[in-house]
């Protein structure tokens, strides 16, 4: 992925690098002078200063553009901007090293006014450290301090308002809390199918508002979207088995309601729209899939996500900026825990039953902690429009691509007495996903490992925050099997949904079997 800077953005960076180069040369002189003085060679130090003054004014000013030109050719202001961590530092060191060689070659031609090799070598070392440090400091502050663009004077005078559709769920309840911590005004639209308990932590916050309503009801949606600056759409019947439980409701909520929400948001001038999709859209594959890979949905759930993605991308314009986030398999403790997710389920079985069963343990799955999902959503919403408008991001971390056997071993380390039963069957599905784009473009990487998630769930059981993982509230499909999905309020809602979801294609095949 290659990304260039505009001239307006590049010039300040070039100037900053130019200043680092000159400060490094002055620093190199200081190092040499101090060294000479420490060895009792005061005359040599004085001679070095006199020669350096003449050299710096007459020659170094003319030689120094070698570095900025080399940096530009080496990609400092284009593709290496998307690098992070060691990869970025190595690219900087390479660029400085190449520039240093050219500089030393030119320096050797200066003859009488040249400085010694000790100054030249010290200069190259200081320049490398200075350029790496400047980028590290920039990234440090960018990742820890919130910088938001001011869209208009009206927005500047009030707190930014965010609507979280489906905000009482597993992800949404944690997201609402985090947004309030960051100073946003938060409005949640949710039918409270699973109850209001997940919102207990925020229900009395002065900047929080709950609208109990149906994302399929146009009056509820219009009332919720009014006066919002951004919309985060988490509303869905999640998972293959739950969608198969009531296919008509799944099409309405997962696709038809999203299409309606898009039109309402655009009509109210909402610029930012973040949509929760899934890595399940890639289907079964043995290749590592990235955002450019062809989708191959094999379930109704995945198909509704693909269709919603297409509707969002088609709706993008200069005022409406959708961002699509394809989540890896989520795990971890939340305000509404889910024990129909593989890591959570296996941990609960190890804790409560002392035995877990793994089907085809060599299958790969991408994982992501629920709190990391929250941070990824916020990062996408706050990123500059040019980086995220109309873009798709896989949300996860390559370090959290695990086989089911590896997950079992992690759980067994936390619960040493657990019996692990391995069973082979015909299911050989692999899901390996590449997460370079979100790391390189948004600087996102996972903070929480699978090990941490298992430990956290274990502590929750020990504190009796979760008493019985088999409780219906913690299982989407089993809960809906008993409670059912709330039907549309009246005929008008049903007709609206029919207009929005009537053209949804069905997948060629479906597979609702579970990994474990």
What's the pLDDT tens digit per position in 348-363? 999 989 999 888 788 8
Fold of 156-501: Rossmann fold (3.40.50)
Handedness of CA 206, 212, 215, 216 (dihedral sign): negative
Name the percent of the chain in helix, strand, coil, to the closest 5: 55, 15, 35
pLDDT at 246 over 90: no
pLDDT of residue 436: 92
pLDDT at 164 over 80: yes
358 close to 422: Cβ distance less than 8 angstroms: yes
Prediction pTM value? 0.67
pLDDT of residue 391: 95
pLDDT of residue 429: 63
Percent of all residues in the chain with a pLDDT value above 70, rounded to a whole number: 78
Pick from 413, 399, 348, 324: nearest CA to 369: 399
- The two beta strands, 288-289 and 432-433, are parallel
Q: How far apart are CA 164 and CA 224, in angstroms?
A: 9
Write b or e for each residue in 35-44: b if 16 or more Cβ atoms lie within 10 A of its Cβ, otherwise e: ebeeeeeeeb
Give the number of other Cβ atoms within 10 Å of residue 167's Cβ: 29
Banded pLDDT at 497 (limits 50, 70, 90): low
Least confident of 19-28, 60-69, 297-306: 60-69
Torsion of CA 216, 217, 222, 228, to 10 degrees: -40
Phi-psi region of 409 (alpha: psi -120 to 50; beta: other; left: phi over 0): alpha
Q: Return the DSSP state at 169.
A: S
**Whole-number average pLDDT of the chain:** 81
Q: What is the pLDDT of residues 327-350, one digit of tens each?
A: 999 999 999 889 989 999 999 999
pLDDT of residue 205: 95
Banded pLDDT at 155 (limits 50, 70, 90): very low
The 3 state secondary structure assigned to 392-461 is: EEEECCHHHEEEHHHHHHHHHHHCCCCEEEEECCCCCCCCEECCHHHHHHHCCCCCCCHHHHHHHHHHHH
Pick from 79, 78, 126, 72: nearest CA to 95: 72
pLDDT of residue 116: 63
Banded pLDDT at 504 (limits 50, 70, 90): very low
User: Euclidean distance between the first and final Cα of the chain, in Å?
Assistant: 36
Percent of all residues in the chain with a pLDDT value above 90, rounded to a whole number: 41
Residue 451: phi, psi to the nearest 5? -60, -45
pLDDT of residue 7: 54
Give the number of other Cβ atoms within 10 Å of residue 178's Cβ: 17
- The two beta strands, 432-433 and 355-359, are unpaired
Banded pLDDT at 152 (limits 50, 70, 90): very low
Least confident of 4-8, 201-205, 288-292, 314-318: 4-8
Least confident of 94-103, 378-387, 410-419: 94-103
Q: Where are the alpha helices (DSSP H) in 182-292?
A: 218-225, 240-245, 247-251, 257-267
Handedness of CA 353, 358, 359, 364 (dihedral sign): positive
pLDDT of residue 37: 74
pLDDT of residue 284: 78
Q: Domain-by-domain residue ranges, the chain?
A: 7-144, 156-501
Give the number of other Cβ atoms within 10 Å of residue 423's Cβ: 10
pLDDT of residue 80: 52
Q: What is the pLDDT of residues 278-291, one digit of tens each?
A: 998 998 777 888 99
Q: Once rounded to an integer, what is the mean pLDDT over residues 229-234?
A: 96
DSSP, collapsed to helix, strand or coil, labels residue 224 as helix
Chain centroid, CA 165 distance in Å: 19
Residue 209's DSSP bridge partners are 187
Q: Once rounded to an integer, what is the mean pLDDT over residues 107-135?
A: 69
pLDDT of residue 346: 95
Give the number of other Cβ atoms within 10 Å of residue 492's Cβ: 12
Banded pLDDT at 98 (limits 50, 70, 90): confident
Give the number of other Cβ atoms within 10 Å of residue 314's Cβ: 12
């Amino acid at each position: 992925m290659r990304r260039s800077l505009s001239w307006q953005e590049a010039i300040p960076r070039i100037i900053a690098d130019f200043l680092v180069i000159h400060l490094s040369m002055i620093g190199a002189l200081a190092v040499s002078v101090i060294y000479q003085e420490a060895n009792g060679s005061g005359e040599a130090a004085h001679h070095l200063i006199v020669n350096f003054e003449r050299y710096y004014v007459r020659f170094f000013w003319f030689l120094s553009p070698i570095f900025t030109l080399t940096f530009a050719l080496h990609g400092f202001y284009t593709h290496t901007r998307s690098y992070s961590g060691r990869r970025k530092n190595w690219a900087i060191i390479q660029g400085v090293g190449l520039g240093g060689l050219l500089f030393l070659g030119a320096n050797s031609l200066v003859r009488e006014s040249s400085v010694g090799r000790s100054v030249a070598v010290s200069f190259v070392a200081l320049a490398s450290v200075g350029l790496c440090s400047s980028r590290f400091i920039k990234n440090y502050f960018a990742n820890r301090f919130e910088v938001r663009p001011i869209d208009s004077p009206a927005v500047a005078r009030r707190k930014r308002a965010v609507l979280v559709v489906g905000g009482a769920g597993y992800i949404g309840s944690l997201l609402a809390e985090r947004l309030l911590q960051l100073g946003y005004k938060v409005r949640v639209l949710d039918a409270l199918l699973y109850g209001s308990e997940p919102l207990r932590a925020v229900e009395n916050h002065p900047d929080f508002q709950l609208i109990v309503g149906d994302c399929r009801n146009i009056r509820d949606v219009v009332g919720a979207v009014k006066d919002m600056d951004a919309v985060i759409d988490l509303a869905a019947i999640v998972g293959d088995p739950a969608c198969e439980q009531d296919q008509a409701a799944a099409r309405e909520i997962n696709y038809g309601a999203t299409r309606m929400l898009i039109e309402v948001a655009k009509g109210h001038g909402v610029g930012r729209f973040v949509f929760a999709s899934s890595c399940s859209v890639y289907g079964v594959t043995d290749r590592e899939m990235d955002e450019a890979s062809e989708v191959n949905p094999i379930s109704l759930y995945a198909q509704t996500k693909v269709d919603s993605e297409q509707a969002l991308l088609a709706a993008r314009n200069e005022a409406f900026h959708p961002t699509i986030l394809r989540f890896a398999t989520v795990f971890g403790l939340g305000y509404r825990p889910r024990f129909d997710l593989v890591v959570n389920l296996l941990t609960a079985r190890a804790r409560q039953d002392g035995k877990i069963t793994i089907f085809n343990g060599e299958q790969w799955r991408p994982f992501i902690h629920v709190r990391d999902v929250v941070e990824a959503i916020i990062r996408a919403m706050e990123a500059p429009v040019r980086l995220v408008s109309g873009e798709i991001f896989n949300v996860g971390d390559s370090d959290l691509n695990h086989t089911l056997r590896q997950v079992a071993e992690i759980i067994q380390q936390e619960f040493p007495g657990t019996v692990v039963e391995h069973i082979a069957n015909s299911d050989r599905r692999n899901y390996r996903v590449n997460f370079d784009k979100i790391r390189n473009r948004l600087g996102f990487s996972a903070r929480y490992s699978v090990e941490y998630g298992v430990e956290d769930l274990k502590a929750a059981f020990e504190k009796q925050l979760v008493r019985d993982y088999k409780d219906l509230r913690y299982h989407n499909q089993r809960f809906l099997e008993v409670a059912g999905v709330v039907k549309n309020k009246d005929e008008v809602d049903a007709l609206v949904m029919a207009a929005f979801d009537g053209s949804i294609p069905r997948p060629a095949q479906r597979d609702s079997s579970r990994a474990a």
